[in-house]
Every structure is written in C-alpha cells, then in structure tokens.
Amino acid sequence: MSAEYLSQLFSLQGKTAVVIGGAGVLGGALCAGLGQAGARIIVADVAEQGCQARTAELAKLGIDAGWALVNVTQRESIESLLAEALRQTGRVDILVNGAGVNAGTRFLDATDADWDRIMAINLRGVFQACQVFGRHMVERGGGAIVNIGSVTSHLPLSRVFAYAASKAAVLNLTRNVAHDFGETGVRVNCICPGFFPAEQNRKLLDQERIDSIMRHTPMKRFGEPEELIGALILLCSEAGRFITGTHINVDGGFTAAWF
C-alpha cells in the first residue's frame, strides 16, 4: 500500500467543512485536522472574537479558512450559517456538530433553566443543524455529518446528568438520521470523546473526580485534543465511505470495561 494511495484515501482536498463550535479547544483541533487534510474550513461559533482568533490561527498553518456566527438554539441562525458558508465557498461537504455546554450540579439542585439551556445547545442544536445542512447535502447527493457525543452517551456520570442525557440523545439521534439518510449519499456518525479537560469542564474536575477517572481509564491519562483528529478524518473521507450510523469512542479505554 503506497503512501500516495493512503494520501488519496484520507484526503479532503476540495471539500468544505463547517465546524460548529470551532472556536473552542476541541473544535479548534478538529478545524486544524480537517484543514491539514485539505478541507476549506468555516469556523462557526457564537462569539465573533473567538471565530476571528481561530481563523487567524488556521491561516498561520496555511489552512484556507473563513468564519461565521451561529447560535445553535435558533433555527434561523443555523439557516443563516448555511447561507453564509455557501456564499463563501459555494458548497458544504462536511458538518461537525461540536457545540456543547455543561453544568456541574447534583440532581436535586438543578434548575429548569440549567436543563433547558443544555438541551437547547447540546441536542436541539444538533437536530436543527442536521436538518438544515442535511437538506443541502441530500440535494447535492452526498456529504458527511459528524456529531460530537461523549462517554456519557453510554454511561451516566454523577453531577452532569443533564449533559449525559443530552449526549445519550445525540448518539440515538445520529443513528436515526443515518438510517433516514441511508440512500442519499449523506453519512452521519458520532465521535464519543472521553475526558479532554477544557475550560468549560475543568472546574468540574476536583482531585477526587480525577482519581476516579484515572482508575477507570486503562491508559491512565486524559486525552489531547489532537487525538480526536484521526477518527474525524476517517469518518469524513473516502476511507469511511461505507461507515454510517455508528460511533467511535476516543476515550483511552474508559468505556471498554467497568473495573
């Protein structure tokens, strides 16, 4: 198997990828990985400053990138994102649904506002983006959607019950949409990261929780954002052209067994 063949198999040259949540730590790594594989990137997030900063970072890597604002809780905003991506690039081949929020509360202390915010961003946002971008991809005759789940898509974790419920639903939704799109040429899959400490979840990681995570992670460490890229490139490239309706756990073995 030649290096040239492998390069072609995993290449995203000529593709356009919209990464929702692209200004975040994990989203930024995914943007860079897709760009290094040849895709043009549209960084989509709720904060203009974050989008601009991420786009500038990608430009320094020689990656062709633009940006657009989006609030995933509003369907009109997602529709505007698609319109802006098409204005900038003329097509969208790849969608990554990476926006997400969390809240560290015990069950009896959580409020309706906590629940509604998490569900609106983590679940309804994915549903709406899959519809809006999925319709475009179906009309074009192909594309790849990758939703970002979590180890909590499989296992409930204490103090993040709303987040876990939303991510379990994202995995179920992924499978359902993949079934619905099966004959259209649009593939829909999910990546389920393990523990990748970032700004939004670091405050939840006290020493007791870190010790518990390490006891249940065979590789005995946290993940690095760049370690999500391989799974993403597989699911977006020709190498994964017969993969749909499934998930890849990138978790250091956390979900392999409960010790």
Nearest to 159 by CA among 112, 200, 109: 109
**Residue tagged active-site, from 67, 133, 161, 163:** 163
Bridge partners for 145 per DSSP:
95, 188
- Distance (Å, rounded) from C-alpha 155 to C-alpha 189? 19
Active site residue 5: no
Q: Give catalytic residue positions.
A: 163
